[in-house]
């Protein structure tokens, strides 16, 4: 008569050689993180089918660990409604588009003060921000994305921001002044950076205002995106938008305080649900992408 928490039906299935990714996903135990992965997948698919927003917020490290092509694939398939990133994200996005390489050795370059001093990165990005923000209503995300496209960079197909510009998907960049290497360069214009980032905050808030029934994912941002998302949500609710029943997901290699409270817990207390999918970006995010695409192929 004792109540048990684990049933035989929830156990995993041994792998069979030659199976598909769908077979692999179905072989996972129906418990704990594997169960969460399945539910997050179902919620993303439900949002896509209901034409509700699916928003990806992110730090810079997902770009450094090779996820740009996967994010661009989701954008091209219409599975992401907006992308938000911190200021460091535009640096790796540009450098990959410019030369197909990014991420310097900080410890080594810091010895002689050369860290962050590459002329091309500071010059291109600061110029793009200043020129873009000079146009009415243009924020940093759109300014940089359009400039990467216009410059005909050799690896522009690897740029998330260029993909957003090409597809007309909102790209929001949220800057903390002094945290990014381009702020050290003489072309840095504080007024343009501040104005552009503020415009992108307003843009993100307009996306969050429509998040009812949708999904917000935080991929690898420990501070900036969780803080920005919380304020965007409060602003949307303050202006009278109903944003209560939605899904949030924090994806990171470890659990941090701000994503836990500002993404997973606080925003979903009025009817939504938050999830942690904890693990390395370069493993967990591709797995989630594959699961979503497989599930979308099933009949609704």
Look at residue 299 and tell me whether its pLDDT is greater than 90.
no
Look at residue 1 and tell me whether its pLDDT is greater than 90.
no
- pLDDT per position as a tens digit, 85-139: 999 999 999 999 999 999 999 999 999 999 999 999 999 999 999 999 999 999 9
Share the mean pLDDT of the chain: 97
Mean pLDDT of 57-68: 98
pLDDT at 217: 99
Distance set, CA 219 to CA 29, 75, 111, 226 (Å):
24, 15, 31, 10
CA-nearest of 268, 266, 207, 251 to 52 is: 207
Mean pLDDT of 72-82: 99
Mean pLDDT of 252-269: 96
Look at residue 264 and tell me whether its pLDDT is greater than 80.
yes
Q: Helix or strand or coil: residue 84? A: strand
pLDDT at 273: 98
Look at residue 274 and tell me whether its pLDDT is greater than 90.
yes
Distance in angstroms (rounded) separating the CA atoms of residues 293 and 73:
11
Distance in angstroms (rounded) separating the CA atoms of residues 38 and 43:
9
- pLDDT per position as a tens digit, 204-215: 999 999 999 999
Distance in angstroms (rounded) separating the CA atoms of residues 85 and 218:
9
- Residue ranges of domains in the chain: 31-297
> In the chain, what percentage of residues exceed pLDDT 90?
97
- pLDDT per position as a tens digit, 16-52: 999 999 999 999 999 999 999 999 999 999 999 999 9
* Confidence band of 82 (pLDDT split at 50, 70, 90): very high
Helices then strands, each counted (H, E), the chain: 13, 6
Query: Which positions ≥6 away from 133 have C-beta within 8 Å?
Result: 139, 140, 143, 192, 195, 196, 199
- The answer to whether domain 31-297 has CATH 3.40.910.10 is yes
How far is CA 224 from its chain centroid? 12
pLDDT at 298: 85
- pLDDT per position as a tens digit, 126-183: 999 999 999 999 999 999 999 999 999 999 999 999 999 999 999 999 999 999 999 9
Q: Report the predicted TM-score, pTM, of the whole model to 2 decimal places.
A: 0.95
| Residue 232 near residue 256, CB atoms below 8 Å | no
Look at residue 300 and tell me whether its pLDDT is greater than 80.
no
């Amino acid at each position: 008569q004792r109540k048990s928490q684990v049933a035989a039906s929830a156990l995993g299935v041994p792998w069979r050689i030659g199976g598909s990714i769908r077979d692999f996903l179905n072989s996972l135990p129906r418990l704990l993180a594997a169960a969460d992965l399945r539910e997050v997948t179902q919620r993303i698919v439900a949002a896509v089918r209901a034409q509700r927003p699916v928003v990806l917020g992110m730090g810079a490290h997902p770009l450094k660990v090779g996820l740009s092509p996967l994010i661009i694939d989701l954008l091209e398939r219409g599975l992401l409604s907006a992308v938000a990133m911190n200021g460091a994200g535009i640096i790796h996005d540009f450098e990959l588009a410019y030369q197909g390489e990014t991420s310097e050795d900080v410890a080594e370059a810091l010895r002689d003060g050369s860290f962050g001093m590459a002329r091309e990165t500071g010059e291109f990005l600061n110029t793009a921000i200043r020129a873009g923000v000079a146009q009415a209503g243009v924020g940093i995300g759109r300014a940089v994305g359009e400039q990467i496209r216009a410059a005909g960079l050799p690896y522009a197909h690897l740029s998330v921001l260029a993909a957003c510009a090409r597809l007309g998907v909102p790209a929001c960049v949220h800057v903390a002044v002094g945290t990014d290497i381009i702020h050290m360069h003489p072309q840095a214009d504080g007024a343009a950076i501040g104005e552009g980032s503020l415009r992108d905050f307003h843009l993100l808030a307009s996306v969050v205002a429509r998040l009812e029934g949708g999904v917000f994912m935080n991929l690898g941002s420990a501070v900036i995106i969780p803080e920005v998302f919380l304020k965007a949500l409060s602003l949307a609710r303050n202006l009278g938008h109903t944003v209560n029943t939605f899904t949030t997901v924090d994806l990171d290699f470890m659990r941090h305080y701000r994503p836990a409270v500002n993404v997973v817990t606080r925003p979903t207390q009025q009817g939504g649900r938050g999830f942690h999918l904890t693990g390395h970006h370069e493993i967990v995010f591709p797995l989630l992408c594959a699961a979503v695409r497989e599930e979308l192929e099933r009949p609704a």
